A and B are shown apart, each in its own frame.
Chain A
Amino acid sequence: MEINLNHVDYMQVGVTSQKTMKLLPAIGRRATQKVAVADHDGVLTCFGMKKGEAVPVFKTLPGQKISRLELGGAQGTPQEKIFVSCGSEVRGFTKKGKQFLSFEANLTETINAMHVSGADLFVCASYIYNHYCDCKDQDYYLSGDKINDIVCLPVETVGRTVPILACQDRVLRVLQGSELLYDVEVPGPPSVLELNNKDGGKEGDEVLYGTADGKLGLVKITESSPVLKWGINNDKRKGGILCIDTFDITGDGVRDILVGRDDGSVEVYGLDSSNEPSLRFEHVLSESVTSIQGGCVGKENYDEVLTTTYTGWVTGLTSEPQQMDAGPGEEVKMSKETQAKVAALRAELEQLQVKVLQGREKYQQSSQSSTAVSAVPVFSVNDKFTLCQDDASYSLTLEVQSAIDNLLLQSDVPIDLLDVDKNSAVVSFSECDSEQPNGNFLLATYRCQANTTRLELKVRSIEGQYGTLQAYITPRLQPKTCQVRQYQIKPLSLHQRTHSISQDRPMNTLSLVGQFSFAEIHSWVVFCLPEVPEKTPAGDNVTFFFQNTFLGTQLEATYCKGEAHFKSDNISTISILKDVLSKEATKRKINLNISYDINEDSVSHTLKMIHPKLEYQLLLAKKVQLIDALKELQVHEGNADFLIPEYRSILDESAHLQEEYKKQPAHLERLYGMITDLFIDKFKFKGQNVKTKVSLLLEILDNYDLNSLMDFFNDA
């Protein structure tokens, strides 16, 4: 069934965090609902819509940044009490705006996830989970990696308290009291959790999760083990999921799944007869969607999807038709409400303008004084630097409250900057002096078009080359300032955490023995590999599994105080680790005893793993090369019937082939680079320098054949 939703803006508040907007329950059926939204200025706003105008019910005074907003209330009564978390404090407000609770959780860190259920309060800081009942401490848990979200199965249906933590290391941790019940492995770092159907389904144990790399799934948390019901992959490379809600917007009696993502897309998934989700509606907003709710706000009897975006826009996608009722020959009629709204806004603007002018003057005057300082407050930047699994490149997204004027990217490691279609900014590469003293490998400026608040970039790194990427962001805001953000390009930048690795591959091992503490070796691993928690894990030893997103090779890292073992089927990975770790240890003057065990079979194993990819790419390149010539022949002869079937199929698939080719720029070069590294590394461990033979290798690659390549590796 097709649904048609129209975009309506309601109001704008300050910058918002994830999950900071909720709809209060309606009084009576099909009446309009009130909206509660909280922002980084610490303001909680509750408003309703009356005749197209936002009428505030109450608004609190500014304070500390609000990180979450939840609704609660005694069990069995309407959930209409508003709870917000700011700093390490939780505050409660009635629907009229009266504060009835102020609870200091006594955490050293700020709360970044919260759940309220009856008298139970669950809060999470970075690694810590706390459960309070009637504001009294109940349970406590220290998680192995950062906690992104928390949800609890409904006590009324399940009959016990089951908190579920979404943790950065790709697991959902299901707790029982202060103990871990079990882990649920999910395909990406989970960023948001929500109960299915708002009540967890019939048995109250169904949880929806969304991941930072854009995957969505439903998992059933039974008493003993999890059951994965379904999962949707992120094939279209959309943004990460920030918020989920369930609401029957299609009107078919089944609650649909509403999803908001950090690239601004809003999606509605409907469930078909076999309970499989399918995409029913899609809309793209210009900024990341931080909260999403289904309900009725703008007009009675018209359901809508309500969203808030990063810069604080509260926007509805309503089922109410937005028809322009201008007949032919008439001026476009603006509804009276909008006219009034515009007039009010204009008046407000004028007042502000005067104030700003005064401020500006004062600021200018202060530049005459020799003691005064110019201090401009930090503007908020929403940034994300993530590894995309399917094309093994990093995507950097930056979002600022006001329009971006320009962006300077600087890197002290060689990286490639790729073009992103979506982004309209004019990029310009500046000449770099990669030699000392300045050591810049990339200097690029992005000059943005007016009204660009969000920028998306793609960066391709090379494993083994590590350093820092810096972004200087200058928004169009007076007095002009720029903020620098740093992103680490780690030595094994293309690796990703995974839950397990297959043990039957030929493995190379690197072992370190020395006088280092657990914390030290952990900090080295953090330095080398992405997605490792910065906090030293609890316990005496730890094991992490990784996968190379480009080649599919694996790495296992096991270490404890004084000892560390790294196992990988890729010799280059081991070589990089060896170089970096010995360098780090020398820096701290720690004696390391490094030993390695090289498995000759692993090289041919890795080559075999690369083989299908390489063959596919070579074939693709060859086919794409032929397309133009074949098309010309086709035009010349009038049809393609005389061609051999192979060529005809190329012609038939030409559009698809070209698209595929365009999607993976420089893929072949990257593969060649990795094979060359593999070759050099293999002989490095034997103590031979084979750099002179690289040109021979490249010759072989130009006329690629797996056997001759393997022979070359063996004979050289």
Chain B
Amino acid sequence: MLVPIFTLKLNHKINPRMVTMGKFDGIHPCLTAATQAGKVFIHNPHTRGQRQATHRLSQSAQDSDISLLNINQAVSCLTSGTLGPNTTGDTLLVGSQTNLLAYDVHDNTDIFYREVTDGANAIVLGKLGDISSPLAIIGGNCALQGFDFEGNDQFWTVTGDNVRSLVLFDFTGDGKNELLVGSEDFDIRVFKEDELVSEMAENETVTSLCHMHDSRFGYALANGTVGVYDRTARYWRIKSKNHAMSIHAFDLNADGVVELITGWSNGKIDARSDRTGEVIFKDNFSSSVAGVVEGDYRMDGKIQLICTSVEGEVRGYLPASKEMKGNLMDSSVEQDLVRELSQRKQNLLLELRNYEENAKAAPGASEGDSGMGVIPANTQLQTALAVRAATESQKAHIELSISTPNETIIRSVLIFAEGIFEGESHVVHPSPQNLSGCVRVPIIPPKDIPVDLHVKAFVGGKNSTQFHVFEITRQLPRFSMYDYNVQHGGPQPTGRVTFSINDRPQRVVMWLNQNFLLPEGIESPDVAFTCLRGGGLLRVSMQTSGEITLNTDDIDLAGDLVQSLTSFLAIEDLQAEADFPSYFQELRTTLTEVDEFHSVHQKLTAAMADHSNHIRNMLVQAEDARLMGDMRNMKKRFIELYDLNRDLINEYKIRSNNHNALLSCLKSVNQAIQRAGRLRVGKPKNQVISACRDAIKNNNVNALFKIMKAGTASS
């Protein structure tokens, strides 16, 4: 059994996912983590108590090994590593919702301090693509930004939603690093510099990513899933009722291949084989794990796995020695093997007994008192999917109907599916008086994603206590919430996107059939749908020249359709013309709002500076009055000071509201760029994104819309 080689209690809370290991003087590794009250602590057991408390740094009074850094803002992410070309040690990078600080711990100086309007939810440090210097890349609200050691903005792009996790590694195998981004819209995106090369859809917010080896990487989701991808293919995954707080790759059993180490919210640490997900080691903390890192913390040349809990407990593990034979857990292999085999034997025996007993049951037998579930052997379940428009009593939905062909009843239906229900399952359980052989399940998928419905239906007699379980898997097509029945005379969509393809219309029809719930016998690619979610119309039409027009007011839907169609037809680059008047109008308003918020922000900042001057004056006056013994005046001053303070607090509230509004506007601007990009594929897509960025930088609103419409900067 593997045991920790050291355990520390640091007496400081650790914010989850904000732990790093840095050699700030180039030699001694220090455990660095964000703690409460906008502070970062640096645990340096090797050179203790040598620094004076100046600038940001102060010594902890409780523990001489710990120095505290004042950030004065809630830290949202941190990392460390080599940033500048000529620095002796690692640079510490601390991100908050408004700023990014690069800090030299050794010299106790700021390297740069940049304002980042999109916030920094995640940070990663390293080389990206062909960019020569290492970058500190932060992911914020829909945006990615990379800074070099001078604080210059070297890299910028947008992504679909708020970024939650980042990792840099060579995904494509071309010797250069790609950036992997996990975001709140459940996608893992791969950026080769600012070009999006791959996209993997998951079913929850991607909270952590880590590189394993070669093209393999681990990921964790907010619903308790962890797993491993090899390039774009998922290798394995497991789901737990707890949440994965931190994942890290480390070779714990010393077999030359790293394992995926996961720290869980219930305090569990486990190491899983990268191939199978099998647990090879586990340990428990008394509180949630905060972060998992590695480093040579004992300075003896061996790298340890270091796990930290939110309560400040730190444990270090050395990779297993040879004697342990990869058997890190406290049980003997042979016993487990024997037990497993016996269990299998028992299971087979039970199954065999089931068949034997079944054979004994005479044809026409009924339940009797045995409570056995007896159904005709030829019972087969029929399932059907249909689109149902909204009625007075029910919202528009997709109906899955399940029925038995005979007098048996369906006691209950369980549907396990990812991403379309609140949890992972949906249950229909009719009351005893409503039992029948047919169950209709309304399904309303919140997003346009293809979903496998794993249906389990309990079939038996009305009074059975034991039921047969029928397991069926049905696929719900991606665009299932679109009704082929169109009522004429409604308002026509004003938005459209037009592009040309070199493919036969039959292929487009095939795509339609695969992705929509269509009645049989549709042979023309000119179709119209009613959107069940928002109402409104979707029209797909194709000219003989291969020009396809999608008419809809929903720019997101148009983007999804373009992406789905092009990946079906394997088109790598696609240029498109688009116009979404109502959406563009909205965006125009948002852009003016951004300007307004900016100017309000400036005014408020100026007012704040004014007030602080006032305070200074007043404080001096009050102090003077006190020294002079003029109590009346002093009291007056302090009352004024109190009023001023209240004003300041109010102003702060206004400022923070203003800031939040600004943030949401900026997010929607970033999203607009992303959406405009999604109407194109491949190179044209990247061109649109970077051209839009330039237009925004130059504050050229008209150019921005032109680009979004035409797909190119200016021709």
Contacts and interface: CB of A to CB of B under 8 A. Distances in A.
Interface of A: 7-9, 11-12, 311-312, 322, 324, 326, 328-329, 331-332, 334-335, 338, 341-342, 345-346, 348-349, 352-353, 355-356, 359-360, 362-363, 366-379, 401-402, 406, 408, 410, 412, 419, 421, 424-431, 436-440, 443-445, 447, 451, 472, 474, 476-484, 628, 631-632, 635-639
B332 A371 contact: no
B148 to A, nearest CB: 34
A363 B335 contact: no
B513 to A, nearest CB: 31
Contacts of B361: 373, 375
Contact of B424 (A324, A353, A374, A428): A428
Given A375-B372, A639-B62, A481 B422 contact: no
B427 interface: yes
A342 B359 CA distance: 32
5 contacts: A334-B334, A374-B468, A402-B350, A477-B350, A482-B458
Contact of A342 (B13, B68, B327, B337): B337
Given A437-B431, A479-B468, 19 more contacts: A8-B335, A9-B338, A12-B342, A352-B345, A359-B354, A362-B355, A375-B357, A376-B372, A376-B373, A377-B354, A378-B465, A406-B414, A430-B425, A445-B416, A477-B354, A480-B469, A481-B467, A481-B468, A631-B13
Given A334-B334, A376-B354, A474-B456, A371 B365 contact: no
Contacts of B411: 472, 484
B422 A479 contact: no
Contact of B338 (A341, A425, A637): A341
B471 A447 contact: no
Interface string B331-368: 01111011101111111111111111111011111000
A90 B352 CA distance: 30
A326 to B, nearest CB: 7
A429 B434 contact: no
Interface in B361-395: 361-365, 370-380
Contact of B355 (A346, A359, A437): A359
A635 B37 contact: yes
Contacts of B356: 359
B404 to A, nearest CB: 13
B434 A311 contact: no
A298 to B, nearest CB: 13
A363 B334 contact: no
Contact of A427 (B37, B241, B380, B412): B241
Contact of B344 (A312, A322, A349, A444): A349
Nearest to A370: B378
Contacts of A363: 355, 358
Nearest to B356: A359
Contact of B376 (A9, A362, A373, A436): A373
Interface string B178-190: 0000000000000
A462 to B, nearest CB: 21
B423 interface: yes
Contacts of A484: 411, 465-467
A311 B358 CA distance: 23
Given A338-B334, A342-B341, A353-B348, A430 B430 contact: no
Interface in B289-347: 322-323, 325, 327, 332-335, 337-339, 341-347
A504 B61 CA distance: 58
Contacts of B430: 437-438
B659 interface: no
Nearest to B379: A374
A438 B358 CA distance: 33
Given A324-B332, A437-B430, A477 B241 contact: no
B421 A430 contact: yes
Contacts of B541: none
B68 to A, nearest CB: 8
B426 interface: yes
A326 B327 CA distance: 12
The B contact surface, by secondary structure, is: mixed
A443 B427 contact: yes
A665 B416 CA distance: 29
Contacts of B339: 9
A638 B61 contact: yes
A378 B370 contact: yes
Given A362-B359, A632-B37, A349 B341 contact: yes
B72 to A, nearest CB: 12
B360 to A, nearest CB: 8
Contact of A424 (B240, B344, B422): B240
A361 B528 CA distance: 48
Contacts of B323: 326, 328
Given A326-B325, A636-B37, A374 B467 contact: no
B31 to A, nearest CB: 17
B427 A430 contact: yes
Contacts, number: 250
A437 to B, nearest CB: 5
A187 to B, nearest CB: 31
B429 A410 contact: yes
Given A326-B325, A349-B341, A363-B355, A474 B469 contact: yes
Interface residues of B, number: 87
A412 B431 CA distance: 9
B633 interface: no
Contact of B431 (A328, A439, A477): A439
B466 A481 contact: yes
Contacts of B62: 638-639
Contacts of A370: 376, 378
B35 interface: yes
B12 interface: yes
A705 B354 CA distance: 64
4 closest residue pairs by CB, A with B: A638-B61, A428-B423, A359-B355, A375-B361
Contacts of A353: 348
Contacts of A378: 370-372, 465-466
Contacts of A376: 354, 357-358, 372-373, 466, 468
A484 B461 CA distance: 13
A411 to B, nearest CB: 10
Interface string B415-445: 0100001111111111101100000000000
A639 B63 CA distance: 10
Contact of A368 (B350, B351, B378, B426): B378
A370 B344 CA distance: 33
B283 to A, nearest CB: 16
Contacts of B359: 362
B637 to A, nearest CB: 28
Interface in B673-713: none
A346 B341 contact: yes
B427 to A, nearest CB: 4
Contacts of A439: 431
A436 B344 CA distance: 45
A56 to B, nearest CB: 15
A377 B357 contact: yes
Contacts of A349: 341, 344-345, 348
A332 B37 contact: no
B224 interface: yes
A477 B355 contact: no
Nearest to B360: A375
A360 B355 contact: yes
Nearest to B331: A7
Interface string B636-667: 00000000000000000000000000000000
Nearest to B465: A484
B346 A374 contact: no
Contacts of A334: 333-334
Nearest to B325: A332
Contacts of B379: 367, 374
B521 to A, nearest CB: 32
A477 B379 CA distance: 19
Given A408-B414, A408-B427, A639-B62, A374 B355 contact: no
